[in-house]
Structure 1
Amino acid sequence: MFKRARRPILAGLFAIAAAFSLAAAPAAQAQIPYLQLPAQQPKYASIVVDAASGEVLYAKRADSDRYPASITKVMTIYLLFEELAAGRLTLDDRIPFSTRAAAAPPTKLFVKAGDSITVDEALHALAIRSANDVAVAVAEKLGGSEARFAALMTLRARELGMDSTTFVNASGLPDSRQISTARDLAVLSRAIMRDFPQYYDLFSTGQFTFRGTVIRGHNSLLRRELGVDGLKTGYTNASGYNIAISGVRQGRRLIVVVLGGASTAARDNHAEDLLLTGFDVANRRDRGERITVAQNLFEPDPSGQIMRPSREQGDGEQDGLKIVLASAPPPPAATRTAAAAGSAGQWQVQVGAFRSRALAQEQLQMTRRRFASAFTGADTMVTDPSSGFYRARFTGLSEAKAKDACETLKARKQACMVIDPA
């Protein structure tokens, strides 16, 4: 059970001003990596935000309309927290279930019409189970009807600075009118931990027991050693796989929102990469480095040409992300060609980044078995884990050989990256 402390509701203007500090974050943002290629992920959007300052460390499609799915329930919980903080509800108060609430589609708690649960149970069911029937019951308890409660949700969203968000239900169940953005959901995540720190540990709870049954949550990132302590996942066919997380390392808290993932695993791994790279960037900025995050996946630009990855500038790269000098544009083509001419046989192909040397070596062995002809004569190496990752690489390749090998792997949907020796 989370803490039962109370605190006054912050004044509306203070909430708006605080939220605007996120919207007005510095323009020096990173460029986002896609989960694969942008044409394959039309629902994708993401953002990484420093929770203390509101600085956007990077964003992609962060202001594009998206379906929030069950991340909606963070706002439902926010309004419940307001009632607790104001003393209008206690954790032991009862929330009744109407016929409409009981009929909500799964995921749900399966409470029957006429029954009731406590506010404490409702909060755990919303945050951990993502129960749609509980969301409707809470909406009817606080708003009289779900429609009226959704209007209150939208009003509070505007007061928090979520200018692109409209709520029409309390659960996030599919409705084309219910839209938000990655930026707005980061604003909401930041607001709930800022305005109700005494209740925030609810989001770090991995399971709860309801009437003798242990119910486990959907956020697997809580179980990884990342410093993640919340917030919420979501999924519908229309939205794709969504997640909003927050994590702390060395006293610094970041917020990551990923929308439109292709699968639970792809979404979670991508959010993890964003979080880890965000911490690396923020810490190195503190030491005076002018760096940002760029993508290292091959990606077509608007003209249809394939853009090459920028040169690696350090060791913050994590499975599609790379830390680069913020003010270092790629050298002219002629210079790169001349440099490459003098570095034949020094190109590399990276086939993964792992948290153990054994996994990296296993990946190299597996790749050589499957693609022996692509790496004929190549050596292998595993880099030192200076940023927490062991990188599996084939070395001693010419430029043409490295590019051909990587294209061969990509055609079989295996991740790879060409490392330029220049």
Structure 2
Amino acid sequence: MRQALSGIVSKSASPLKTIMILAMAMTFVVAGAASSLAAKSAAIVVDAKTGKVLYSANADGRRYPASLTKMMTLYLTFEAMAKGKISKNTPVVFSAHASAEAPTKLGVKPGGSVAVETAILSIVTKSANDSATALGEMLGGNEANFARMMTAKARQLGMNGTVFRNANGLPDPGQFTTARDMATLGIALREHFPQYYGYFAQRSFLYGRQRINGHNRLLGRIKGVDGIKTGYTRASGFNLVSSVNDGNRRLVAVVMGGTSGGSRDNQMAGLINTYLPRASTRGGGDLIAKADSNPVSALANVLLPKHDAPTPDEKPVAVAEADTDVADDATVAQGDSEDEDTAEAEAPKLVVPAKKVKTVIVSAPKVATAQVVAAYAEPTPAVDPVNTASVPSGWAIQVASSPKQSEAQAFLDNTTKQAPKALADATGFTVAFDKDGVTYYRARFGGFGSKDAAWKACTALKKKKIECYAVQQ
């Protein structure tokens, strides 16, 4: 570089001319580095109602997921909850392995436990690596088995470019994904578990006397953003999956390989502002097929590649930010420092209008230390989620109630067939509740932006002699 510049700048050149030439040369160098980084980034925007790809850049390129991995950990957790295998109050015991995970973490000592709901909240806000591992060990018996279940579920959802090696996203050369696969998972989480999807909108929660704040800076600042997950390691760069719902349109957007949290957030904000108006207001039904969740078949149906499988290209270091984005190199070198306030000393301000959103604080339940059986505990009667913060906000309509979840689901399916137009933008789901010691299941359709919209759908159903009433969630 010095030799090249010396050939350009003559000894007789004036100081001002020399400065101007050097400035131009450095501009070209920085521009070249930025171009190289752009080639390593990846992004995709998908219409979450139709599945249409509205924007794509390197969407099928192999990337490290970092803490986006936890989206699949939560998918399998929600699946176990929906099937009654565990409840939000089931204790999650932390093994020595889980407790020893690198930060960020909740900090539970070996043998200690928290409720499933606390583990979930610590993952969506703090991105707690120890909580993710503990959940994986509870559901899979050990983390290696759980990783196989995660990869098997990925295949069932159509995520063919993804392999999981652990439950939390800490660096592993054999763990990789694509932006397209992460969009698929984001859509599946809302489609398959609308009753739990509201967890992703949590911006903070109380753990004992400690308030734990989240890392997703777009929540409450970009209109319509209701989740999902951030991710960061040095190898992956700054990742983000965002879900957007403005009442009529829904998007899932993914940005991977950002050079900083602020630039990643600004890129995501730009994608949302550009492509949300182009999304459809009418849906075409479920986009992601629901697959058998039997853990035995999940383990049998997947063959993981060897550890020498091809891995994502090494992410280059930004010229202007080399070794300046991390305050605690030791922590980040171990793995996933999701604390972006530490990883990035000062993030740029978003260039979009801000909107204040009330923060919901959820106290962590006190649970006794107990050993939970691996792989799927016996069902524990669930509390009515309508009275908790675990369901999506908005309005829903209820069409039936049954002591059997299969009957409630069948009623949802029949209702959809009888009134497809009235429920075109709605999502059916069941809600468990206890009455006199017996668990019942309410059959509901959610996704209505207002009380009037919910009642309008009810009126259409009543014309077909289907009883219905609207409820606010």
Q: Same fold (TM over 0.5)?
A: yes
1:143 paired residue among 140, 144, 158: 140
Aligned to 1:231: 228
Aligned to 1:180: 177
DSSP-derived class of the 2:40 partner = coil
Aligned to 1:43: 40
AA matched with 1:194: E
The ranges of structure 1 where at least 4 consecutive aligned residues each deviate by more than 6 angstroms after the TM superposition are 283-286
Distance 2:71 2:281 in 1: 32
Offset at residue 223 of structure 1 (A): 2.3
Distance 1:56 1:37 in 2: 26
Aligned to 2:217: 220
Residues 152-183 of structure 1: CA distance to partner in whole angstroms, max 9, x if unpaired?
00000000000000000000001111000000
Distance change in 2, residues 1:284/1:232 (3 Å):
closer
Offset at residue 52 of structure 1 (A): 0.7
Residues 112-123 of structure 1 correspond to what in structure 2 (within 5 A)?
112-123=109-120
Residues 184-333 of structure 1 correspond to what in structure 2 (within 5 A)?
184-282=181-279
Distance 2:351 2:98 in 1: 45
Distance 1:284 1:205 in 2: 26
- Contact map agreement 1:41 1:262 (CA 8 A) in 2: no
Offset at residue 87 of structure 1 (A): 0.2
Residues 304-356 of structure 1: CA distance to partner in whole angstroms, max 9, x if unpaired?
xxxxxxxxxxxxxxxxxxxxxxxxxxxxxxxxxxxxxxxxxxxxxxxxx9658
Distance 1:123 1:283 in 2: 31
RMSD: 2.3
Residues 243-278 of structure 1: CA distance to partner in whole angstroms, max 9, x if unpaired?
000111241010110000000000001001001100
- Contact map agreement 2:59 2:178 (CA 8 A) in 1: yes
Aligned to 1:383: none
- Contact map agreement 1:43 1:239 (CA 8 A) in 2: no
AA matched with 2:271: L
Is residue 153 of structure 1 aligned with residue 130 of structure 2?
no
Distance change in 2, residues 1:355/1:216 (3 Å):
closer
Is residue 56 of structure 1 aligned with residue 56 of structure 2?
no
AA matched with 2:148: A
Offset at residue 129 of structure 1 (A): 1.0
DSSP-derived class of the 1:243 partner = strand
Residues 273-422 of structure 1 correspond to what in structure 2 (within 5 A)?
273-282=270-279
Aligned to 1:168: 165
- Aligned-pair identity in percent equals 48
Is residue 77 of structure 1 aligned with residue 74 of structure 2?
yes
Distance 1:89 1:236 in 2: 31
Residues 70-114 of structure 1: CA distance to partner in whole angstroms, max 9, x if unpaired?
010000000000110000001111010111110000000000001
Distance 2:280 2:116 in 1: 40
DSSP-derived class of the 2:199 partner = helix
Offset at residue 128 of structure 1 (A): 1.1
Distance 2:198 2:174 in 1: 31
- Contact map agreement 1:43 1:240 (CA 8 A) in 2: no
- Contact map agreement 1:186 1:257 (CA 8 A) in 2: yes
DSSP-derived class of the 2:219 partner = helix
Residues 199-234 of structure 1: CA distance to partner in whole angstroms, max 9, x if unpaired?
100000100111111000000000204210000000
For normalisation by structure 2, the TM-score amounts to 0.52
DSSP-derived class of the 1:271 partner = helix
Distance 2:125 2:37 in 1: 30
Distance change in 2, residues 1:225/1:60 (3 Å):
closer
Is residue 126 of structure 1 aligned with residue 149 of structure 2?
no
Q: Which moved more, 1:271-280 or 1:187-196?
A: 271-280
Distance change in 2, residues 1:98/1:284 (3 Å):
closer
Aligned to 1:66: 63
Q: Report how many aligned residue pairs link the two structures.
A: 257
Distance change in 2, residues 1:61/1:354 (3 Å):
closer
For normalisation by structure 1, the TM-score amounts to 0.59
Distance 1:40 1:102 in 2: 35
Distance change in 2, residues 1:59/1:150 (3 Å):
same
AA matched with 1:70: S
- Contact map agreement 1:243 1:267 (CA 8 A) in 2: yes
Distance 2:72 2:127 in 1: 13
| Unaligned residue ranges in structure 1 (runs of 5+) | 1-33, 287-352, 357-422
